[in-house]
């Protein structure tokens, strides 16, 4: 088994840069969402298609990122 169709893309969610990494393992697409800075894993999802896996990761990441509070410095 190898990761196939490996792809990454960056998007903005709730004001934060997020990197999506998706690939196919066997018959299943996997997706992870990381914040770009500092590069920490936020969500891991699966789906029958890349789109399904990515959308799940986006939804989960958006939910978590919405809770991140910015404070005045």
Partner 1 sequence: MAEYTHPETLVSTDWVAQNLKNFSLRIVEVDVDTKAYDEGHVPGAIGWAWNTQLCDTVRRDIIPKADFEMLTGSSGISNETTVVLYGDNNNWFAAWAFWQMKIYGHRDVRIMNGGRKKWLAEGRELSKESPSLTVVSYTATPPDYTIRAFLKQVQDGFDKGKFDMVDVRSGPEFTGEILAPPGLPETCQRGGHIPGARSIPWAQACNEDGTFKSADDLKTLYANAGISGDKPIVAYCRIGERSSHSWYVLKYLLGYSNVTNYDGSWTEWGNLVAAPVERGAAKAAP
Residues interacting with partner 1, by CB under 8 A?
Answer: 1-4, 6, 16, 21, 23, 25, 30, 32, 34-35, 37-44, 61, 64-65, 67-73
Residue 71 Cβ vs partner 1, minimum distance, rounded to whole Å: 6
Q: Which residue has the tokens 């999506």?
A: 20
Specify the residue, 25 or 51, whose C-beta has the smaller distance to partner 1.
Answer: 25
Residue 32 near residue 20, CB atoms below 8 Å:
yes
Tokens describing residue 62: 């958006």
Q: At closest approach, how far in Å is the CB of 64 from partner 1? A: 4
Alpha-carbon span 21 to 68, nearest angstrom: 22
């Amino acid at each position: 088994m190898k990761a196939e169709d490996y792809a990454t893309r960056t998007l903005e969610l709730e004001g934060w840069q997020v990197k999506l990494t998706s690939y196919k393992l066997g018959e299943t697409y996997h997706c992870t969402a990381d914040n770009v800075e500092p590069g920490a894993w936020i969500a891991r999802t699966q789906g029958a298609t890349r789109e399904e896996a990515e959308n799940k990761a986006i939804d989960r990441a958006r939910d978590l990122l919405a809770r991140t509070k910015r404070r005045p410095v």
